[in-house]
Amino acid sequence: MKSLERISLEAGYVHLIKIVLLLLTLGLSFSDSLNKRDEKLAQRYFQSGYQNLQIGNFKNALIDFSMAYSFDKKGPYGELAYLYLGKTYTLLSYRTGNKEGVFSSIAYLNMYTYHYKNPNYLLLKDDFVGESYLLLGFYERAFEVFMKLYKDSSNPVYLLKALYAEASQGKSYNYELLNHVKPENLKEEGYLYYLVKGFYEFNLGNYTSTLENLSLARSMKAQLGQDPDFLYRQAAAYALTERWKEALQSFEVLSRVDIYKTYSLFSDYYLTLIHLKTKNYIEAKERLYKLIEDYSLFNPVVSLLYYQLWAYDGFVEKYLPNYKDSLTKVIWINSSSDLSIPALLGIYYYSIKERKILSSDIFKMFPAQRVDEVTLSHIKADLKELYIKLFNEYSKLDPYSPKDGAFLLELLKASNGKCVNLLGAEKFARAGVYFGAQEAYYLINLLQEPLKSFFYGQVQLLQGKEEGLKLIEEVLKDLKDDDRREALFILGLYRRREDYLLEALKGSLTERLEGYAPLALLTLGEIYEDKKDYNRAKVYYKEYLQKAQEDTLYWIVAYKLAYISSITNDKENLNWVVNEAKKTDNIIGRIIRELWG
């Protein structure tokens, strides 16, 4: 940056002759003998020039300041006029698209001490030079100039200008220094406080506060409504707070006043997103196609926009049928940058939606992380809606479903566990425990209580360690919904707790719990049989037979039910069992038929 500044300033000295010729034409001379001194007339011309400068009438301001100088070259108004001529030419050059003129003005201002050996307005000269740096976008240099001015003078206006230079770079290191400024004491310069605060709030992602402060600044200085730096942040903040109408209006004004097209690409980025969010897909398509044609997907702004399109299903389906496959390719353009995060979220989204790994290489190579906002130069990419869409799809995965559970375990393997950083550990841990996938057991340690002890307890039971029962008992009171019912099933079966099993069986069972039901019903039947409560035993044995698959155990239970029914003279249940036995060749079934058929 500094080398660029040096080259540009050297070019400015070359163009300095242009100013000299212009000022000579207007009547300005460095000779002491051209005009007699007239301080009052110089004062009148200076005041007229200052008024013209304030309203943006730069050409007349140049004439007035040159006249003021000519009538009081060595006096106070002539000395001031010299500096204001430089400032005016800076503004005239910048507003007319002539940046070379701004460099020339800096060179001209730096000659101030050559013409005035005992200068009275050095701070003012440096102030004008610093403002020129701001116009050129040399913010680091401007920051240095204004911080020095602030240290030399303790003038809070200089501090605000230094902070403006910092905030314009997207930085917020010195935000707290605003606490040293009381805007009510700054009079007409008070707008600077709110302008700087608005820029800082934008950098920090506080967009509502950004708009509040920028609005206050503009109420104090109407000319800000034509300033590209102000307008861009206002428009972007409107977009990021979903105030679409105001955003479109601000971007429209910005397109007219941004003569250097500083914000053209950034504006197109936001405008495309606005049209996507408002489902104006035709306009969004035209802007997107033009951006790709003008800049290509290798442009970071364009690729950042492209990476977010998966969030707009209707647009993608209609205009980008091959988008899903292309996303797995273009993500590599920014493989070493946070810019790839929206694309990675999209690839996770499509994989989860289809229950199919889109690219294991991408999942292994790219770090899955939670970042709510990605910053690229003057762009703030808000990713919150992308996460909402991704997690809405992720929430549909049932870790206890064979298909979804298998996919979760496959995703865990394909990403080398990186998916956990993005999606959390719980679903993966649930699938691992439920399906006995030991490679997922390590995730239990990432969970909070009571789930941590609940899952560790199950793993210990799977390993034949009854210590797991104690862990589950300790957290039973804290478990909710299906977790509690599963714990009741486990404890009821291991401890043969009638109350636990009865509570667990109440109401309908989810797919996750249905597998426990037959064994729970059988256990209850055995408990009541042991208690010689045959009527209740018959109820649960029969329910077991209605749910269980036919195997040896099934017919053993059928025999039990037939026997109990016979000794209690329960012909209804006995006939039911005999009829079931007539449908099988199982040896126990044949015995039932022989004894009671």
- CATH number of the domain within which 100 lies: 1.25.40
Q: How far from chain centre, in Å, is Cα 355?
A: 25
38 in a structural domain:
yes
Q: How many domains does the chain have?
A: 1
| Cis status of the peptide bond prior to 450, with omega within 30 of 0 | yes
Q: What's the pTM?
A: 0.83
Given this model, what pLDDT does residue 26 score?
45
15 in a structural domain:
no
> What are the mean pLDDT values of the chain's consecutive 10-residue runs (597 residues total)?
43 46 45 65 96 94 95 94 96 92 94 94 97 96 97 96 97 95 91 98 96 97 95 97 96 95 96 96 96 96 98 96 96 94 97 96 92 92 95 97 97 96 97 96 97 96 93 97 97 96 95 94 96 95 93 93 93 93 91 89
Given this model, what pLDDT does residue 227 score?
95
Q: Can you tell me the distance from the alpha carbon of 135 to that of 67, in angstroms, rounded to the nearest whole number?
A: 27
Q: Can you tell me the distance from the alpha carbon of 383 to that of 311, in angstroms, rounded to the nearest whole number?
A: 10
Residue 448 structure tokens: 């909070």
Q: Can you tell me the distance from the alpha carbon of 324 to that of 347, in angstroms, rounded to the nearest whole number?
A: 8
Q: Can you tell me the distance from the alpha carbon of 475 to that of 464, in angstroms, rounded to the nearest whole number?
A: 20
Given this model, what pLDDT does residue 20 score?
47
Given this model, what pLDDT does residue 313 score?
95
Given this model, what pLDDT does residue 34 score?
47
583: which DSSP letter?
A: T
Given this model, what pLDDT does residue 407 score?
98
99 in a structural domain:
yes
**Beta-bridge partners for 379:** 376
Given this model, what pLDDT does residue 36 score?
66
Given this model, what pLDDT does residue 288 score?
97
91 in a structural domain:
yes
DSSP H or E stretch at residue 379: strand 379-382
Residues spanned by the domain of 118: 34-136
61 in a structural domain:
yes
73 in a structural domain:
yes
Integer CA distances (angstroms), 115 to 103, 111, 119, 397, in order = 19, 7, 9, 78
77 in a structural domain:
yes
3-state SS, residue 464: coil
299 in a structural domain:
no
